[in-house]
Amino acid sequence: MTLETTDRVLVDAVIAGDDEAFRVLVDREKANVIGLCRRVLRDPMEAEDVAQEAFIQAYRALPTFRGDGPFGAWLGRIATRMALARLKRPADMRADPTREEGWLIDRADGTDPQLVALAGERRTQVREAISTLPEHQRRIVEMRFYGDLSLDEISSATGAPLGTVKSRLHRALALLRGRLGS
């Protein structure tokens, strides 16, 4: 019995009302999903929240699981999308409002405020340029650079072949270089 077959059997059991089968799936995938969310969010508390929400969303969406790949990869795509959506929330809605832009706050270490401001402007330009990319390229850039995922992890999370991920990332970076003049 392959992993995919086991996944299909467990998913079918959950759909039929067997909550213990879902507990088996959760126990098997929990560490991977939390780890994926941590890499994207860089906040253990938010990662656990998003992972829990991903399991709830997956439970509700189980009838759409086709079984043509591992359950873990399907769940990973759900968790990745949710974690990236959490990153896009305004800072005051995240658990730690200073996490992402905290370096802009007045620093006691003597950093030149003008350099800090210029770096902040550049970061804003980069984020705006990324937001103009086609969806399939934008997601890969966000996962790679904001989520710190490897190309293999991106391939698994998106379901796209590794070569496709590499190609999309390369094209996206070329577009960004052109738009940012670097």
What is the CATH classification number for the domain harbouring 143?
1.10.10.10
- Claim to verify: residue 96 and residue 161 sit in the same structural domain: no
Least confident range from 91-105, 120-134, 149-163: namely 91-105
- Claim to verify: residue 95 and residue 149 sit in the same structural domain: no
- Over 60: is that where the pLDDT of 125 sits? yes
* Last residue in a domain, options 100, 116, 137: 100
pLDDT at res. 92: 41
- Claim to verify: residue 20 and residue 93 sit in the same structural domain: yes
- Over 90: is that where the pLDDT of 16 sits? yes
pLDDT at res. 53: 93
The 3-state DSSP composition of the chain as helix, strand, coil percent (nearest 5) reads 75, 0, 25
pLDDT at res. 56: 92
> Tokens for 166?
């590499």
| Residue carrying structure tokens 């293999």 | 152
- Claim to verify: residue 147 and residue 175 sit in the same structural domain: yes
> Tokens for 26?
């959760």
**Residue-wise pLDDT tens digits, 35-94:** 889 888 888 888 999 999 999 999 999 988 888 788 988 999 899 989 988 887 755 444
Angle of helix 19-41 relative to helix 71-87, nearest 10 degrees, comes to: 40
Helices (H), the chain: 3-15, 19-41, 44-61, 71-87, 113-131, 135-141, 151-158, 162-180
- Over 60: is that where the pLDDT of 138 sits? yes
Residues 139 and 132 sit within 8 Å (Cβ to Cβ): no
Domain of 153, in residue numbers: 101-182
Q: Rounded to whole angstroms, how far apart are CA atoms 40 and 145?
A: 9
Cβ-based neighbour number of residue 111 at 10 Å = 12
pLDDT at res. 168: 92
**Residue-wise pLDDT tens digits, 79-123:** 998 998 888 775 544 444 334 444 334 444 455 666 767 777 777
- Over 60: is that where the pLDDT of 1 sits? no
- Claim to verify: residue 170 and residue 125 sit in the same structural domain: yes
Q: What is the pTM of this model?
A: 0.55
**Mean pLDDT of the 15-40 span:** 90
pLDDT at res. 50: 93
